[in-house]
């Protein structure tokens, strides 16, 4: 959870970009409006940004802008999910999701001829955590069920996902990336990740 801020002046110097570039990217929606944080200082009102998020986003823009239009990048960074659809066999052939997680998904829900981008994103996140040994099969099932229950709401905001355990009981929490989550000391964080970051990576892989 990110609390550290960077001023606009320090950001421009650190990233090596101009004022004009920064605000053009803002107009093109490559940088979210919510990242422009106005705060009072002894010199008056100044603009600050979440340091880690803005520096990572600018690095991605600089690396990708030569090979893609700004409109394409705006779609890539958008919280809205992509439009790709793939069959079960395509997911397996392209090694996007393991058969274990696909079988688990199909056991929980009605089998599909095609999987939407949202389906694939939820499968990919679950698969990643499972293969890394972060979660058990039972927790993977809980995560997939929770994704399914809140799928529409998760497309509208830049959301983070946190998997917790307390007294051996797993919990799944979704919360806006712009907010911090305060937990008691007995709650163990198993995994914490950005839904948007996974969506960006998946959009790039499928495009």
Q: For residue range 107-160, what is the model confidence (pLDDT) as tens digits?
A: 999 878 899 888 999 999 999 999 999 999 999 999 999 999 988 777 766 788
Please check whether residues 143 and 45 belong to one and the same domain.
no
- Banded model confidence at residue 1, pLDDT cuts 50, 70, 90: very low
DSSP 69: -
Q: How buried is residue 123: exposed, middle or buried, by Cβ count under 10 Å (0-12/13-18/19+)?
A: buried
Backbone angles phi, psi at 107, to 5 degrees: -75, -35
Domain count, the chain: 2
**Could you tell me the two tokens for 150?**
């809140």
Q: Domain holding 48: CATH number?
A: 1.10.1660.10
Measured CA to CA, the distance from residue 100 to residue 91 in angstroms comes to 12
> Which of 77, 94, 120 is the last residue before a domain boundary?
77
Please check whether residues 188 and 152 belong to one and the same domain.
yes
**Could you tell me the two tokens for 39?**
């705060």
pLDDT at 8: 94
Q: For residue range 55-100, what is the model confidence (pLDDT) as tens digits?
A: 989 998 998 888 778 888 887 777 666 667 889 889 989 999 999 9
> Which of 48, 77, 106 is the last residue before a domain boundary?
77
What is the gyration radius of the CA atoms in the chain, in angstroms? 19
Query: Which residue is listed with tokens 């907010």?
Result: 179
pLDDT at 80: 61
Mean pLDDT on 162-169: 92
Measured CA to CA, the distance from residue 86 to residue 185 in angstroms comes to 42
What distance lies between CA 76 and its chain's CA centroid? 11
Please check whether residues 191 and 97 belong to one and the same domain.
yes
* Contact present, 131 and 138 (Cβ < 8 Å): no
> Which of 43, 77, 111 is the last residue before a domain boundary?
77
Domain containing 121 equals 85-206
The mean pLDDT value of the chain amounts to 87
Helices (H) then strands (E): counts for the chain: 10, 8
Please check whether residues 171 and 90 belong to one and the same domain.
yes
Please check whether residues 51 and 35 belong to one and the same domain.
yes
Q: What angle do CA 142, 146, 151 make, to 5 degrees?
A: 150
Sheet containing strand 188-194, strands side by side: 169-176, 159-166, 188-194
Dihedral over Cα of 104, 107, 122, 2: its sign: negative
Please check whether residues 120 and 55 belong to one and the same domain.
no
């Amino acid at each position: 959870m990110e609390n550290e801020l960077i001023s606009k002046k320090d950001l421009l110097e650190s990233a090596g970009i101009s004022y004009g570039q920064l605000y053009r990217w803002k107009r093109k929606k490559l940088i979210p409006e919510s990242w422009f944080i106005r705060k009072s200082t002894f010199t008056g009102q100044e603009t600050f940004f979440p340091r880690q998020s803005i520096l990572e986003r600018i690095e991605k823009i600089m690396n990708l802008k030569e090979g893609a239009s700004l409109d394409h990048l705006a779609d890539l960074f958008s919280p809205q999910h992509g439009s790709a659809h793939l069959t079960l066999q395509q997911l397996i052939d392209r090694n996007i999701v393991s058969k274990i997680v696909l079988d688990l998904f199909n056991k929980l829900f009605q089998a599909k001829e095609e999987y939407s981008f949202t389906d694939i994103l939820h499968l990919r996140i679950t698969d990643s955590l499972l293969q890394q040994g972060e979660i058990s099969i039972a927790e993977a099932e809980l995560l997939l069920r929770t994704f399914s229950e809140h799928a529409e709401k998760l497309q509208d905001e830049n959301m983070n996902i946190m998997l917790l355990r307390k007294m051996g009981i797993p919990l799944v929490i979704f919360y806006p990336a712009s907010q911090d989550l305060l937990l008691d000391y007995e709650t163990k964080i198993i995994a914490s990740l950005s839904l948007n970051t996974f969506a960006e990576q998946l959009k790039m892989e499928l495009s």
